[in-house]
Amino acid sequence: MSKKKNKYTNLGIRWFFLVTLAFFISLIVRISYLQLADTVEGRNLKAFADENYNTSQKIPAKRGTIYDANGVPLAEEVTSYTVSAVLDPSASKNSKIKRHVVDKEKTAKQLSVILDVDESELLSMLGKPKYQVELGPGGRNISQSKKEKIEKLQLPGIVFTPSQKRYYPNGVFASHTLGYTATNDNGDLVGEMGLEKSLNDELNEEDGKKSFLRDRKGNILPYENEKVDPPHNGNDIYLTIDTKIQSLLEDAMTRVDKEYEPEKIMAIVSDPKTGKIVAMGNRPSFDPNINDITNYTNDPVSYAFEAGSTMKIFTLGASMNEGVYNGHEYFQSGRYKVPGGGTVHDVNRNGWGSITFDEGIQRSSNVGISILLNEKLGPERFLQYYKNYGFTQKTGINLPGESSGRLVYKYPLEKTTTAFGQGSTVTAIQIIQAASAIANNGRMMKPYIIDKIVDHDTSKTVKDYDSEVAGNPITAETAKNERKLLETVVTSPNGTGHNYAIKGYTVAGKTGTAQVVDEHGKYIKGHGENLFSFIGMAPANDPELVVYVAVLRPKLKETELGSDPVSEIFRSVTKGALEYMKVEPAENADINELVDKDSIEIPDLEGLSVNEAKSLATSLGLKPISLGSGDEVIGQTITSKTQVVRGTKIYLRTNGKNKMPSVIGWSKVDVNRLSELFNLKLTIKGSGYITSQSIKKNAELRDRDFLSVELNKPQEKVEKDKQVKVEIQE
């Protein structure tokens, strides 16, 4: 019995041993397989381990910052927040504090002030049957300061989700130059316009990563080495733009845009000695923080247009440089038959008689320039200068979207009109580059707006942009002589640039009044239907700045000049910039007297069309007012060659029906002139200024009508006279 029991015991031990051995063998095989195999049952073992025991955290990097020339941020990445409200009471379950919105009316009322959202709109959002809601557009991308204000309210259920956004501290400020960014599907900022787009690869950042191990409970293992892939912040961009001067430009453009509502404004301020663009702007513009864009074109570099008489300075420079210009030589102004076909007229079709070429430049005579081109310089020689000035190619400024303009130079008339800025098109940045040759003693400087690109992490300069000479189209002597003549455009009684005089500083420059082509290819006619411009250099003897301003089709009143909006920008920006740059004012009594009171000679307007007469008068600084419905001027209230001050009103009689103007506030001299123009039978009572008139405003005005006016002194003058009498009596 014992032997039989022992037999079964031994058999059991053997089976146990065999089963155990088989188990261990299978375990070893399994372990070996697991060690050698990548996947088990279709699952990647490494990925499984990484998922359960490896942890990584993103180390965020920042997009590069765009700075001005002085290191002031113009575009930077900042943290913003989206405001949400938790509405479900279950969020507060098992919590000592309330984690959902408790008082919806109070929450809506207090948040509406900070988020600038209507209280009823917020209350509607807070009433939705959802666990959590975002508080609309007003609650997106709010600043750190707004977040802190909301937190101080201690409103239950209000939560914040952080995100990165691009921030432009100055709002509408060189917006077309800077551009803007948008967020792509991965939540990254991507440049969509301007430098943000063209330099996207330089500005773009690369996030880093920190990896480490954890146990099955999720605790980080303390003795494991962390693996860190450091972030790479985007490169920083430093511009040549100076915030102080750009601010002057932005403010001036905003004032003019509001007052005159033009179709476009383009303006550039440059350093002619280096080619640096210190300010550049457009209207219409936009705020890149909200992207309220109506114009996607950076007009100073992308918009090609017929520039008008500002182009005459380059024809003049070519003539001087070739030694064919004699400023004291006379020519007959008014009209000129172009050899090969066509006729060119001055803005004053009657002309100013026989005048010198210097006076022709001052008066902006198309005839004078046409003679220089065809009879002195020659079209082919001028074409070479035109190309040397850079007008047939892009300047290469480091901005996207530059245009090269269009040369129209096949027929004799086209060649002639190109010499005074019609037909062929150019860009504002081309004008700035070409004008630098005149301002910089013959050395034409390539314009640039990026100063350097810097590695944010190492502070090392990745790329440096230096000044570059784009050509030498004229000599230093030619440039100096030309600046002296262009200074008289501003200072001479015959000059068209009186409006651009700056008290304390000399200015050399040239005005431009270009015709504008409509969608049918025809020139638009009418008061203000032009592109008005000015290219100016200051101080004239050694320019520190070249400034170009162009205003397209401003809404002008009858008494307003085309130069008014342009000069408003030019004078305020140039004077402010020179003072900021600590350029010493000139001790020049003539300049200061010109600004305070300058003299203009009345032109002969009779026989001209109404539009021609108005253009001529406004170009000289007068305020012409047409009294009739005709298309030709048959009389004027102030006779030609009379000397008057800038801004004087001159009334024009036309060949159609004429209307009586309001003469309230006129002086006795003014009403006498009107009376002579229409042979009126005038009766005057009193002294001072007109306070009543017998012929009503807009009534038809005919020869030999009876006109009775009453004059009175202004109340202020009356009170002063009374005071004088009292003092005498005492």
Q: Strand 208-213 relative to strand 73-86: parallel, antiparallel, unpaired?
A: unpaired
- Cβ neighbors of 93 (< 8 A, separation 6 or more) are none
Q: How far is CA 666 from CA 483, 627, 645, 670, 685, in A?
A: 41, 16, 16, 6, 13
Radius of gyration for the chain, computed over Cα atoms and rounded to the nearest angstrom: 39
Check residue 537 and give left, alpha or beta (phi > 0: left; psi -120 to 50: alpha): beta
CA distance 692 to 575: 43
- Cβ neighbors of 715 (< 8 A, separation 6 or more) are none
Q: How far is CA 505 from CA 87, 108, 468, in A?
A: 67, 58, 28
Strands (DSSP E) contained in 555-705 are: 599-601, 623-626, 633-636, 643-645, 649-654, 658-659, 681-686, 689-693, 700-701
Q: How far is CA 94 from CA 85, 87, 98, 593, in A?
A: 19, 16, 10, 84
> How far is C-alpha 325 from the chain's CA centre?
37
Q: What is the secondary structure of 507-559 as a DSSP string? A: -EEEEEEEE-B-TTS-B--STT-EEEEEEEEESSSS-SEEEEEEEES----TT
Q: Which two tokens stand for residue 346?
A: 């001055």
Give me the active site residues, please: 309
What type of residue sits at position 543?
P
- Cβ neighbors of 85 (< 8 A, separation 6 or more) are 101, 107, 125, 126, 132, 133, 135, 157, 158, 159
DSSP state of 305: B
C-alpha torsion angle, residues 410, 412, 413, 418 (rounded to 10): 60
**Total residues belonging to the chain:** 730
* DSSP H or E run through 37: none
Q: How far is CA 302 from CA 13, 285, 397, 697, in A?
A: 96, 14, 11, 47
Backbone angles phi, psi at 399, to 5 degrees: -135, 145
What type of residue sits at position 656?
G
CA distance 666 to 697: 13
Q: How far is CA 121 from CA 105, 172, 232, 403, 539, in A?
A: 11, 29, 42, 47, 58
- 473: helix, strand or coil: coil
Contact 640, 671 (CB under 8 A): no
Contact 117, 135 (CB under 8 A): yes
